[in-house]
Structure formats: C-alpha cells, structure tokens
Structure 1
Amino acid sequence: MSLSDLPILYSFRRCPYAMRARLAIAASGVSCQLREVVLRDKPEALRLASPKATVPVLVLPDGKVIDESLDIMRWALSTHDPKQYLQPEQGDAQQMLALIAVNDGPFKRHLDCYKYPDRHTEDEQFTDAASFSVLHRGQASEWLMDLNARIEQQAYLMGPRPCLADVAIAPFVRQFAQVDRAWFDAQPWTALSTWLLNFQSSPLFLSIMDKYPAWTPESEVVRFPAV
C-alpha cells in the first residue's frame, strides 16, 4: 500500500486523547498518515472530515471517519493486538471499559477544573479560582488513590501486564501530574507514580511523542509510526 492510500490521522502532540489514539496505533503496528494539527488554526480538511473538528480524527481509505479516541484505539487493536491490550489479565472487557469511562467522565471533569479553573468557575458560581482548583484537585485525587490501590496489588490497572485501560488512562494521569509536579510527587501514591514514570519512559510512549510541523495540504506525507 502506498503512503497516499494509508488511513489519515489528525492529531495534536500534547492532547491526551490524541496521545492514546497514537499509542494504540503504534502498538498495533498499523500504519497511517499523521497530520499534526495546530488547534488555534485547524485545517479545513479536518473540519470537512468531522464537524466537531477536535482531535483525534481517523479517516479510513474507504472514507469512513472515526472521531472518538477510544473508538480509534479499538479499531487499531481489533486490526492487530500483539500485546493483547483488549484482553485484560484480570476482569473482562466490560470492567475495563467501565474503568475508562470513569476517567473520561468524572475524572476528566475534575482535571479540567483543576488545570483550567478560570474556564469553569462560572459553571458552579465559584468566584475564587484558586480554591475552585484545589477543590477539584482533591476530588480527582480520590480516584487516583483508587488507581494506586489497584496497582499496588497487581502492577497494572487490571492485572500483571498492561491493557487498554492503562494505555487509555495514563495520558490523563500524566496531564494531571504536570499541572503541579512537585505537589503530585509529594502525594502518597507511590505505586501510581511508579506506573506513570514507567509509562512515560516506555519505548511505546517515547515513539509517539516525536515533534512534527503543522500539516498543510502542501506538506509531505508523514508515515506513523515511523519506520
């Protein structure tokens, strides 16, 4: 298959949703064209592919569009899953998806309020942005302590090896940690911290964090993962 016939992935390097899509694609070994997007200047091709115009968006060769990160992950891994991410060592797929749903729902809400309090205080009629941020940091931390307890018992979120839940959730824990790294590192979640550090230093994660210039219609095709 020529480069121009590969699926097209619109992505943004630092977005955790885009990260997890790239992680699954890289783990699967499926190749695609990577189009790096500047969020403040989104290309028209992205808007035409998906009216939401949010990354990640995957456009398949037959024209089908997948514009939810978890759906992209499942598409890639259903094509090829050499690490058996879709088959957790403990529990089942429904339990794994339920864990991801908490990350994508309540935890992500608290993360956004912690990281960007000025964008959300009006939603709750809260005038003190700093206190609002600390409140949501604490609420998010309750779930992180639950994750820590899981990892203390079994090394990863659903057993002795990583699965889809680890790959889908880790980019968001990373984002949370980076808001105030000193505070994060001082918390009593040693197992979670080790899990996150191992994730961030893994060959898989490092392989999806290369920097690329913003895509334009005149850009050369970028093959992802790089070979």
Structure 2
Amino acid sequence: MTHGLPVLYSFRRCPYAMRARLAVLASHQTCELREIMLRDKAPEFLAISPSGTVPMLLLPDGTVIDESLDIMRWTLSQHDPEHWLGVDDGGWIARNDGPFKRSLDRYKYPSRFEKVEPLAERAKALAILDDYEERLAWSRYLFGASPSLADMAILPFVRQFASVDTDWWDALARPNVKRWLGEFVSSGRFEAVMLKYPKWQAGDVPTLFGQ
C-alpha cells in the first residue's frame, strides 16, 4: 500500500467498479488502483475481500469497503466539489441496482439462467429507461443541469445495456437517453476512468489514480 492512500481494487469493464472510479475522480483525490482479473483473482486480494468481488476499497487504517455505492459515498464524503451527494435520488439507484440489473443480466447472459426470455427481459429494462427518457426531456441530467450520484451510479449500466445489441440500440427511438449516454461516453471523465491498466500482482510499482 502506498503510504496514506486508500487502495481501490477494480476491474475496468465492471460497471460497479466503473462507478467507484467515477467517484474517486470526481472527489479530486488519489488512490492506489489495483486491477483485478475476475478469472484469476490475486490471492492477496481474496485474503482481505469479504465478498471476493470488485470494487473494494481498502482504507489506510485497514477498513474494507466492498459495496460500490458505499465506496462512492465514502469517497465523496471526503470531498464532493460537484455536490453529487446533495441530491436525493428518490430510489432511482435502487431501481437500477435491483430490477434493471436483474433484467440486464438475463438479457445479456441468458445462458446463465434457466427459462429466460432475453427479449422479454430487454423489454422490462427498456420500461425503466423510458422513465429516464421522460425525465431527461426536461433536464440535461436526471436531477437537473449537473450530474448527481444517481447519474454516475446508473450510466455504467445503461452503457452495458446499450452494448448488448448495438444494431437494435442504434435503431431505437430514445433520443434523450441516447443523448445522456452519448455525452457520458464521449466525456473526458469517462475516458479517464476507462484507461487500461495491467493486472495487479503483489510487489508491483503502485499505480496512482485520481486527481
């Protein structure tokens, strides 16, 4: 561990880890980033991770935070210059992490589940996106002119949904959600959190992330 810095165990493509990195970046702080391969997890990571999943944040005092939203909230509680925590999301994040993620998984990975109709699951997820579509007709982000915790906690999953069948998505008439997602993936913020890092191994030179 780099002296005095939190350590973020992450995986680049994981939407949960992505939103944790977004919060670190927004907080203008620095952490040590350790890229974990999900199919070949470092034993040192498994030795301290309660769940064996990413993201996980190890604080300098040894405290472990292994839920992505808890990592976001802890990080932003240290410094929140964009005021992400100042907006009550009204349960929108819980809806994303519950019903939307459930349908997304069954749409994207139908072979992992029994008796799943992927197109029916896609329709369920799209119904949730339709609520975003209506809201985004009146504002740039879900809760106004600036991004909030809800936007940055939800967008990585919308991105994953859109990538399952890009031809279908490209033909879909949801201009406001597409604008919202398009601005996100074309932003410098997204580019910064999606840089590629080598798989971490104990003894590696620390990789610093943030600021």
- TM-score class normalised by the smaller sequence: over 0.9
Could you list the per-position Cα deviations for residues 45-95 of structure 1 after superposition, in whole angstroms to 9, with x for gaps in the alignment?
A: 22122131100000000000000000000011111011111113xxxx2xx
Could you list the per-position Cα deviations for residues 142-197 of structure 1 after superposition, in whole angstroms to 9, with x for gaps in the alignment?
A: 00011111111112111121100000000000000000112112112100001001
Conserved in 1, the CA contact under 8 Å of 2:50 and 2:66? no
1:100 to 81, 93, 97: 93
CA RMSD of aligned residues (A): 1.3
1:210 to 195, 198, 201: 195
Tell me which residue corresponds to 1:31: 30
In the alignment, structure 1 residue 197 sits paired with structure 2 residue 182: yes
Tell me which residue corresponds to 1:222: 207
Conserved in 2, the CA contact under 8 Å of 1:23 and 1:208? yes
In the alignment, structure 1 residue 150 sits paired with structure 2 residue 149: no
2:112 to 116, 119, 135: 119
Q: Distance in 2 between matches of 1:70 and 1:189?
A: 27
Query: Match for 1:104: what amino acid?
Result: D
Give TM-score, length-normalised by structure 1.
0.90
Identity across the alignment (%): 52
In the alignment, structure 1 residue 41 sits paired with structure 2 residue 40: yes
Unaligned runs of 5+ in 2: none
In the alignment, structure 1 residue 172 sits paired with structure 2 residue 157: yes
Query: What secondary structure does 1:188 align onto?
Result: coil
Unaligned runs of 5+ in 1: none
Q: Distance in 1 between matches of 2:79 and 2:104?
A: 32
Structure 1 runs (4+) deviating above 2 angstroms are: 2-5
Shift of 1:205: 1.0
Query: What secondary structure does 2:33 align onto?
Result: strand
Shift of 1:97: 5.4
Alignment of 1:61-140 (within 5 A): 61-88=60-87, 93=88, 96=89, 98-120=91-113, 122=114, 126=115, 132-140=117-125
Could you list the per-position Cα deviations for residues 107-141 of structure 1 after superposition, in whole angstroms to 9, with x for gaps in the alignment?
A: 00000000000001x1xxx2xx6xx1111001100
Shift of 1:11: 0.1
Q: Distance in 2 between matches of 1:97 and 1:30?
A: 27
Q: Which has more helix, going by share of residues?
A: 1
